[in-house]
Amino acid sequence: MEKIKVGIIGATGYAGEEIVRLLHNHPQAEIVTLASRSYVGQPYSNVYPNHKSLTDMLCAEEDMEALSKEADVIFLALPHGLASEKVTEEVLNNCKIIDLGADFRLKDVNVYEKWYKVEHHGKKLLEEAVYGLCEWNREDIKKCRLLANPGCYTTCSILSLSPLVAEGMIDISSIIIDAKSGVSGAGRSVKLDNHFAEVNESIKAYGVGSHRHTPEIEEQLGYRAGEELTLTFTPHLVPMQRGILAVCYATLKEKYTWEDVNAAYQKYYGNEPFVRLMAQGAYPETRWVKGSNFCDIGWKVDSRTNRIIVIGAIDNLVKGAAGQAVQNMNLMFGLPENTGLDLIPMFP
């Protein structure tokens, strides 16, 4: 098989760099273009010295149409609102697109424009776009040419709750998600709120009742439930570089045991290469998934309140972004989905 020719637009952001890092050892991928608005003409290894002698190609201008004629797939690692302008029918006729942003995740354009406060310019392509949560949409991903890579909070939250929702084991009106993220989730651009002195020795909630990942989680869990649902989602910023920990609460419909819940998770994830289910009494920690494409999930049945507490952990830049994007690429090109992703989590 010829190598997959890959272009990356937004290659110098954190998610873009993580794609470059993962594809360096991918046996079937060849990067042909690293596009960046800020570093045109500079060696990539000047931007990220960890790539010295490994990725020294020059950063290029963004030219979507030209790149689509050279590449088999383009990863878009851009802020929301840009991909919907750049992705066209002509581009998709030339190559496949994996968008790491939010522009093609939500099917209802009105919901997107309400939550993201920008106009969507690719409305005709929304219906075609496939939501790239591999564990649930694998067969559709294999056939698609426009893929919406899920968000980091959403990946962790949806994977953590989907089996319970699909099996009708919880009251979907009772779902509360309390999630924590490392600062890399906010991207590489300079922001006062992300400065060391602003983040260190502190934890804060943000986007309270208004975070943009809320409708994405609701839409995808709604598909599992077979009906629309509304939930409470509150994200927090914690002083670490990488990681998402989502603690999810819901009321059980019956007096289920830990073993009952385990049967549901084994049904959906027992053979999944990147979902690791915890033993009874053990719970995920972000340090045990750092640098990997794993999602670890554990739970506690609180018999006193008849609620369940589900805890999920991922690396926001890998399973929550670049790793999941590469996993999707593998499926789209008929490769084993763990190709290039068999990474042991980094510790310490």
d(Cα 179, Cα 158) in Å, to the nearest integer?
A: 12
What residues form DSSP beta bridges with 313? 245, 296
Which domains does the chain carry? 4-128 (3.40.50.720), 153-316 (3.30.360.10)
In the numeric block, which tokens belong to residue 214?
């809320």
The angle, 0 to 180 degrees and rounded to 10, between the axes of the packed helices 134-143 and 323-332 is 40
DSSP 7: E
pLDDT in tens, 191-234: 787 788 888 999 999 999 999 999 999 999 999 999 999 999 99
Model pLDDT, residue 43: 97
Summary mean pLDDT of the chain: 96
* pLDDT higher than 90, residue 276: yes
Residues catalogued as catalytic: 152
pLDDT digits (tens, 9 = 90+) for 123-162: 999 999 999 999 999 999 999 999 999 999 999 999 999 9
- Phi then psi for 269, rounded to 5 degrees? -120, 0
